[in-house]
Amino acid sequence: MTISSSLNAGVAGLAANASRLATISDNIANSSTYGYKRMEADFHSMVIASKGGTYSAGGVRVTTQRLVDERGPLVATSNATDIAVRGRGFIPVARATDVEVGNGDAQMFLTTTGSFRTDSDGYLRSESGLILLGWPALPDGSVPSYPRDTDAALEPVQINVNQFSGEPTTRMTLGVNLPATDTSAGSEGEMRELSIEYFDNLGTSENLIIEFQPTVPANGASNEWTMILKDSASPGQIIGEYTMTFEDSRTSGGTLANVTTVSGGSYDPTQGTLIVNVGSGPLEIDIGKLGESDGITQLSDSFAPVSINKDGSPVGNMTSVEVDANGYVFAFFDTGITRRIYQVPLVDLPNPNGMVALDFQTYRPSPESGSYFLWDAGDGPTGDIVAFAREESTTDVAGELTEMIQTQRAYTSNAKVIQTVDEMLQETANIKR
């Protein structure tokens, strides 16, 4: 019985070391595979209860585990949509076959790195057939509050490479100096005109025409101007008229003292703004607060549009797509504008090593891994997303070769045990002769 147990232990040792060699072989074969997580074999002794003073060898068992929570070094690339996770967390992806079939929601898989490029349908897809998942942003670039404990709201990131985009002008800031001498007695009362381009809802260029008419008194200085606003989209129509009075005190000379609304939206003294309706809708104009010199002023003898700022842009073509550290996917246009179109979350689990490992360095959550949660990249326990980067394999070739030598020696020793047991059994059989 004892000799038989020795034989069984030797056989178990051969099988265990063969399994360990298999993990080493897999690790070395994938030493250049991006995102590969190395396998580890652990040996566990088996104990059989001894009876009558004799000892029975229990042998060994082997368990293997993929160390998903280990992270490899990051290497720079030249593709903006090559991304890798720096720190804790996983990128959600789906198989292209599931997305193309369109039979319900595609199943979410997890990975730590991927090289994504737009395919013929505009999906950000890797060469291994994985499509990046994310939350779609609203037209204004904001991302709604989606549920974080489910992947139901995730959608394949699809880029319209032929997309055109324009933004209407909704806000404008006027930094203009009006000549103080024009409101003095004897002045010619010359009207000053300023034309500012804005973009309507269709990206068409229009002009806001602003006329400044001074009030010329019989004596002294009035320090008063009438501002008339017209819109090129509605020729000949006045969309706003305001009477502006300026300070002439030593401390606040040249700043707005009072604004009276004749027509158009009323002036808000707390914000220094007024709202008029142009052809594309409401347009907020910042002319400055009362007593402050950050808007329209009246100083010296020169008419000077110091600073004119506005939002909006004409229609432009999409030129590129990038993913930032917080997982936001931005589309860049040749007009210089940037639009947020998706947010890629990072998925975190209590036990990443408990996930089911699949092909192409992807993993599926399981009961052993625990419930997952979708975090904003860089928030909570998760790391951030690095663009222009890939994660290399976690395999240490030198360490694997060292373990291979140890495994080979252990395998040879177990084979020697079997050979010795065989010789002992042969000697036992020869006793009868």
Q: What is the pLDDT of residues 210-223, one digit of tens each?
A: 999 999 999 999 99
Q: What is the mean pLDDT of residues 366-389?
A: 94
Average pLDDT, the chain: 91
Strand partners, 415: none
Residues 348 and 306 in one domain: no
| Pairwise CA distance, residues 263 & 246, whole Å | 20
Give burial (CB, 10 Å; 0-12/13-18/19+) of 373.
Answer: middle
- In this prediction, residue 167 carries a pLDDT of 81
> Computed from CA positions of residues 117, 119, 122, 124, in that sequence, does the dihedral angle turn out positive or negative?
negative
Residues 403 and 387 in one domain: no
Task: Tell me the residue range of the domain where 149 lies.
Answer: 74-162+333-391
Inter-CA distances, 162 with 131, 165, 319, Å: 20, 10, 9
* 317 is a domain residue: no
Give burial (CB, 10 Å; 0-12/13-18/19+) of 284.
Answer: middle
| Pairwise CA distance, residues 410 & 106, whole Å | 46
- In this prediction, residue 103 carries a pLDDT of 64
* 131 is a domain residue: yes
| Pairwise CA distance, residues 268 & 271, whole Å | 6
If one counts the domains in the chain, the total is 3
Residues 122 and 148 in one domain: yes
Residues 225 and 276 in one domain: yes
Residues 200 and 156 in one domain: no
Percent of the chain with pLDDT over 90: 73
CATH number at residue 223: 2.60.98.20
pLDDT tens per residue, range 286-333: 999 999 988 999 998 899 998 999 988 877 777 889 999 999 999 888
Residues 259 and 174 in one domain: yes
* 328 is a domain residue: no
- In this prediction, residue 162 carries a pLDDT of 62
- In this prediction, residue 194 carries a pLDDT of 95
Predicted structure pTM score:
0.72
Domain boundary at 311, 342, 377, which? 311
Please answer whether residues 109 and 372 qualify as being in contact, where contact means their C-beta atoms are separated by less than 8 angstroms. no
Q: What is the mean pLDDT of residues 167-183?
A: 93
Residues 353 and 400 in one domain: no
Please answer whether residues 235 and 255 qualify as being in contact, where contact means their C-beta atoms are separated by less than 8 angstroms. no
The answer to whether residue 1 scores a pLDDT higher than 60 is: no
Domain boundary at 246, 277, 311, which? 311
* 369 is a domain residue: yes
List b or e across 314-343, with b for residues whose CB sees 16 or more CB atoms inside 10 angstroms: eebebeebebbeebbbbbbbebebebbbbb
Residues 298 and 219 in one domain: yes
* 264 is a domain residue: yes
Of 52, 18, 54, 22, the C-alpha closest to 39 is 22
* 323 is a domain residue: no
At 385, give phi and psi (nearest 5°). -105, 130
Residues 303 and 180 in one domain: yes
Residues 138 and 225 in one domain: no
Residues 98 and 144 in one domain: yes
- In this prediction, residue 433 carries a pLDDT of 62
pLDDT tens per residue, range 150-166: 999 999 999 876 666 67
* 138 is a domain residue: yes
* 326 is a domain residue: no
Residues 271 and 185 in one domain: yes
